[in-house]
Chain A
Amino acid sequence: MSSGILVFCETDGGKLKKTALELLSKAATLGGEVSAVVIGGSVDGAEAGRHGAATVYTVNGDAFGAYSTDAWVKALAAVIAKVSPAVVLGAASPIGKDLFPRLGARIGAGAVTEVTDLSNVGGQVVARRPVYAGKVIATAKVKSAVGLFTVRPNSFAVNPTGGGAASVVAVDAGVSAADLKTQVVEVRKSAQATVDLTEADRIVSGGRSVKSVEGYDSVIRPLAAALRATPGASRAAVDAGYAPHSHQVGQTGKVVNPTLYIAVGISGAIQHLAGMRTSKVIVSINKDPEAPIFQHSSYGIVDDLFTICPALQREFEAVIG
């Protein structure tokens, strides 16, 4: 009989990532025992326990260097077979997106991806997720014994429950180098690498009105830096060459879910809204009072971005320090 919740936790330098803490915090409210699994990394049982996990399962070995679909699917399937959870949660991160659908096909478990809310309805986990560019919210549940869910970063608050240290249990998943059909031969840091947009808690995005690469680099990037935010861009700005595609927020770019989203010189085309409409607080700066983005904003300033942004940057520097 499957029971409890297993949280697939990503780590960074031996620390649980914020997405993992969000998922553990949410899992603790859904009912049932919470356990965690860390693949290809070390973990601090105290930190996992403080966020509600009773046990952390770890899988390591020679095959667990860079992320690979083959090693991770086999490892997570092995831990699921051992723990028999009713629910497995992971982040809708680059790894989670790659891993969970294939895992679902491997073990015959329903997978619901890109979830923004989870609740316990009569003992069953029910997921809500935006579809059709966020114009519609779909509700879904899983009929198989195990349900797999990937959750967009920043969907849930981090809430330490104050539990004691989790016990750490190493699992041998029997994964060897022979299982790997893909090899990472090189890893490059892209020129303007920052916090991944999809996981960013604060984002400052620039649109076509920044007018040039110089405009983007001299207005958007320093404003983002002052707020400790990640710089983003609209499709129009990317297509015009003002910012790289890796910065694009929207339907053919990244879907983001930050606490604070500042749209600078962005009109608010549906393709952009599709990527950021779940942001908790949206601020728009645009000199066109009719820009559609204002209808989706918590706060708006109707003014020239080249005047407002440097002033806002100074104010953030003073307040945030």
Chain B
Amino acid sequence: MKVGVLLKQVPASDTIIKINPDKTGVLTADVKWEINPYDEFALEAAIQLKDAGKATGVVVITVGGADAEARVRDALARGATEAIRVDDPALAGSDALGKARALAAAAKSAGVELIFAGKQAIDTDSAAVPGMVAELLGWPQVSVVTGFSVDGGKITAERNAGGGFIEVVSTSVPAVITCDKGLNTPRFANLKGIMAAKKIAIAAKSVADLGLSAGQVGAAGALVEESGLELPPPRPSGKIIQGATPEAKVKELVRLLRDEAKVI
């Protein structure tokens, strides 16, 4: 069984984000990129299956330009065995569904039977693509997974169902699993892995290579239109509460919460 990993590069969380002049996107020149942290749990889950002899290969699948190669190369160095980078001018302006179409088609072309993805990407926080990929492939999905095992095609996954409840879900391959923190501890690449990864070719595929038409992706196929980006309104400057004693400070805080903010 080959296992796929959906991988997205995102700006590192400490990057200063600047909006471009026409407010349609962010300036990427100074951005430091990293693998989406939740995708690292997905990658680790796949590599562990390979190490355990349960996966014959780990295919990293990404949508992105040549600048995404370094992140894909990092994933190969950690233990992935193949990589597909879907890169096509027609993808510009894609919404989540357009990207999901490209990823689902790439996964199909690679012959994977199980897909791991991060539960969400930390740039757009949409948590939309994995469920769409599952739907396009007609596979079951188990989302926000913190425990996983597969045996003879039968999957057992623990997921955070909210409200303090953990659900144990049973399903079978093929399936899409979205990964939360707590599932595993992602490894770093070692020197041997980095050297081995250099020998692996990253397959760049166009939309046509994957059997999709330009109208199914990009701005032409998008059902969601982002009409602009702006900085959030600044928070009104806060008050540092003064007082002679801790008790005096606390009494003043409670008074402000009740009479000024009206939240208690």
Contact = CB atoms under 8 A, between A and B. Distances in A.
A301 B164 contact: no
What does DSSP make chain B's interface, helix, strand, loop or mixed?
A: mixed
B81 interface: no
Contact of A281 (B141, B222, B257): B257
Contacts of A185: 156, 168-170
B263 A280 contact: yes
B165 A302 contact: no
Interface in B145-187: 156, 160-172, 175, 181-182
A300 B239 contact: yes
B190 interface: no
Q: Taking each of B125, B182, B240, which has the highest tally of chain A beta carbons within 10 Å of its own beta carbon?
A: B125
B16 to A, nearest CB: 8
Contact of A184 (B128, B129, B168, B172): B168
B238 A300 contact: yes
B256 interface: yes
B63 to A, nearest CB: 16
What does DSSP make chain A's interface, helix, strand, loop or mixed?
A: mixed
A141 B225 contact: yes
B225 A142 contact: yes
B128 A111 contact: yes
B22 interface: no
Contacts of A132: 11, 17, 26, 123
B171 A182 contact: yes
A75 B17 CA distance: 40
Given A187-B161, A252-B37, A299 B224 contact: no
Nearest to B181: A252
Interface of A: 66-67, 69-70, 73, 93-95, 97-98, 100-102, 104-106, 108-114, 126, 129-144, 181-190, 192-196, 198-199, 202, 227, 245-246, 248, 251-253, 255, 259-260, 270-271, 274, 277, 280-283, 289, 294-304, 307-308, 311-312, 315-316, 319-320
Interface of B: 11, 13-14, 17, 19, 26, 37-38, 95-97, 100, 122-132, 134-136, 139-144, 156, 160-172, 175, 181-182, 222-232, 235-236, 238-241, 246-247, 249-251, 253-254, 256-258, 261, 263-264
Given A187-B166, A298-B236, 7 more contacts: A98-B141, A104-B128, A104-B223, A114-B126, A139-B229, A298-B239, A319-B264
The 6 closest A-B pairs by CB, nearest first: A193-B164, A110-B223, A94-B162, A181-B140, A105-B135, A101-B131
